[in-house]
Each structure stands twice: as C-alpha cells, then as structure tokens.
Structure 1
C-alpha cells in the first residue's frame, strides 16, 4: 500500500514549525506515513508540492477558512482529508457542509497525541469532532422535540446524557465524578441542568423522563 501523504498549512511560522516537527516525528515512527511539506497558505503549498496531492492536510486556520481551502481543492485533483485547528471551534462555519469527506475539527489547544490520532483517523476515512462540537452539530440538525403537553423541551448535551445514563445505573454524585474525572460541583451543575431541561424534580423522575424522550435506554 502507498504511504499516507501528510502536509501542513499554518500562517504563523512558529505554529508551522511546531506542526511540522510533530508530523515528522509521527512519520518517523510510522512508515505508513510520508511528510510532503508545509507552507503558509494553500496556494503556496500546491506550488511547493509540484503536482503531488497530500492525503491529509493539517491546517491551523481562522474561521474565514473558505478561500484558502477552495484554492487548494481547485488546484488539486481530489480534496485531501483535513485536520482543522482553530481557536473558534464554536463558530457557525462549523455548521456548514464539511469541505472534505473526512475531516477533524480540533481546538488550537489540542494535545499532540490528539492531533496524531486525528491524522490517523481521517486517513482511514473517519471524522473526528470534540464532544462540544458534536453536541452543537446535533443540536442544530435535530428537529425540535415536544413534551406530552405539546410544549418543546431542550435537548441534553452529550455530557448530560452521560450523567443521566449513570443516574439510571444508580450511581451517586461522587461515583459519577470519579468515572468522568470531574468535580462533585460539576456533577451537581450537570444534574441541575438536566432537571431543568427535562422538567424533573428528582433523580428518579429525571431517569424516567430521559427514557421516555429517548435520551437513554436501560
């Protein structure tokens, strides 16, 4: 099998050097990967690659992403998979149709191991989204639900669904906090939000309403 070809785009020379070092280290540890090069923008990268098309491009990018990506895709024969690093992962551009079939959207603060895992995932044709981004996408795409009385109710986040499922398993606050690696106060915050969204007054009622509305199954 041909190696997976990886390239880097970052306007900041410091960020570009850091990403290039990370990708090169990954390539050295994995012979199935090949580093093609890096550049400050998509057009420069295409010129530098002289006809070679990367399979994966790691991009440190601003929310106004479209022009740079369009340039790359118009000049390349097929769009590569993307690993997008952005400080604005909660912006509306994420809700638009992805510019590639396989992509990862990560915060700029992502750890090297997360970037490496994302490169490998998109190379395999998968998509990678943080829980917060996925929750936002689901909330935007999901049709409004209604209670039995016909009044709409707010959807739970992925973390709230996790907490609710643990409630259904009979776990207490401290055990939930330990399993999710969060504080007791954070668990209480999630419970308060769950009760408010479901209109529940206690843990048992929250579980019953969560089951009725399809958030959890037991």
Structure 2
C-alpha cells in the first residue's frame, strides 16, 4: 500500500502549517493540500481525492464536506480536532463512518496514529464518548418494546427543555447555576430513562411522551 493521502481544513493558517509539517514528516502519509474551508480545499486539490481529512470544523460539516467529492470516489475519513472532544454536541454530529475525535492539543503521534486508523476504517474516540455510546446501546437493547418510560424529574425536564432550545452544556449549567458535571449527570439520566442515544433523539422522545412541548 502507498502512503495515506491526507488533506487539512483549519481556520488558522498557523494550525494548517503545523498539520502540514506533521503529515510531510511522516513517510507513511502524503500531504495533498490545505485550506480554511471545504470549498477552497476542493480547488486546491485539483482533482486529487484524500483518503483522510484532518479538520477543526464542526463534525456536522463532515457529511457536507464529503458531498464535494465525486460519488465514484470513496468518501474521505475524518480526523476531528476539537477544543472540547468529550462534549455531548459531538455525539449528535458524530459521523456514521470512520472518524477520529481528538483534542486540539493532541500529541503529533496521536494525530498520526489516528490518521492511519481511520484510513483502515476504524474509529478513534475519547473514552468518555465511547463509554456513553456503549451505555446508550446497552440501555436501548435492554428496554423491551412498549415498556413505559420512567418519569423525568422536574430538573431533568428543565434540562431537556433547554436541549430542545439548542443550548449546550455550558449554557445549561450557567442558566441553572450548576456545574458542567451535574449537567452531564442529568443528561445521562435523561438518556437512560428515555432510551435515547443522543440529544436530538432525547428531545424527540421527550416531546413524544409529553415531557416537553416545542
């Protein structure tokens, strides 16, 4: 196999240069180009198709990004660099296919290993996100069809309503005057009671069962 073809999308020119140097320093990787956004990157690539894109864009941009490439080509896998890699909003936008989520200050070796992993079809996730995904899957598998939902507490309903308004963890914590960890605790309880796997599903189930109205 030849080197993994890698492109970079990052808002900061300094970060683009740093990631380019990282890729070019590794003989197992081939740098194709970089840009501040997906559209500009497509022009820079001049028809070349990367196997992996390293980006600091929101995960939701991943699917839109992939539509830029010809359907005849395999979609590039994504390595996402985030300031808050274990945040719940990432769960909602997590790409369905191979992807890695890393903190923005990840070590160079971690980024390289993640690039190589997603190029082979693997996912690289922070332990906290992986644990919540597994817990949600187990909860969904264990809840028999038609089983009544456990009632939410008043505080959980407050949190769920704020989810429906699109608020993130930090905003919820600020409005309720509680810690981020307490918000995460409430979200975990809400997901467990509703059998939801992400924030969007929790809101939909909350509406369906009358806990909130939008």
Normalised to the residue count of structure 1, the TM-score between the two structures is 0.57
Work out the CA distance in 1 between the residues paired with 2:90 and 2:50.
23
The answer (yes or no) to whether the contact 1:58–1:84 under 8 Å persists in 2 is yes
1:111-149 alpha-carbon deviations (Å, 9 max, x no partner): 111111101111111111121221122233330779xxx
Match of 1:80 in 2: 76
* Map 1:1-218 → 2, pairs under 5 A: 1-26=1-26, 29-30=27-28, 33-62=29-58, 65-66=59-60, 68-77=61-70, 78-96=74-92, 98-99=94-95, 101-143=97-139
Name the larger-Rg structure: 1
RMSD: 2.3
**Divergent runs of 4+, >6 A:** none
Q: Secondary structure of 1:139's match?
A: helix
State the 1:53 CA deviation: 1.1
Work out the CA distance in 2 between the residues paired with 1:38 and 1:136.
33
Q: Secondary structure of 1:116's match?
A: helix
Q: Secondary structure of 1:142's match?
A: helix
Higher relative contact order, structure no. (Cα contacts within 8 Å, ≥ 6 residues apart): 2
Q: Secondary structure of 2:5's match?
A: strand
Work out the CA distance in 2 between the residues paired with 1:138 and 1:21.
36
Gaps of 5+ in 1: 147-151, 153-218
Gaps of 5+ in 2: 144-149, 151-214
Q: Secondary structure of 2:95's match?
A: coil
1:77-132 alpha-carbon deviations (Å, 9 max, x no partner): 23201111101223233223643521111111211111111011111111111212
1:132-174 alpha-carbon deviations (Å, 9 max, x no partner): 221122233330779xxxxx9xxxxxxxxxxxxxxxxxxxxxx
1:187-211 alpha-carbon deviations (Å, 9 max, x no partner): xxxxxxxxxxxxxxxxxxxxxxxxx
Match of 1:196 in 2: none
Work out the CA distance in 2 between the residues paired with 1:36 and 1:83.
15
CA gap 1:57/1:21 in 2 versus in 1, 3 angstroms? same
The answer (yes or no) to whether the contact 2:62–2:78 under 8 Å persists in 1 is no
Work out the CA distance in 2 between the residues paired with 1:7 and 1:51.
13
1:45-98 alpha-carbon deviations (Å, 9 max, x no partner): 111112211001111234xx42x4344211112320111110122323322364
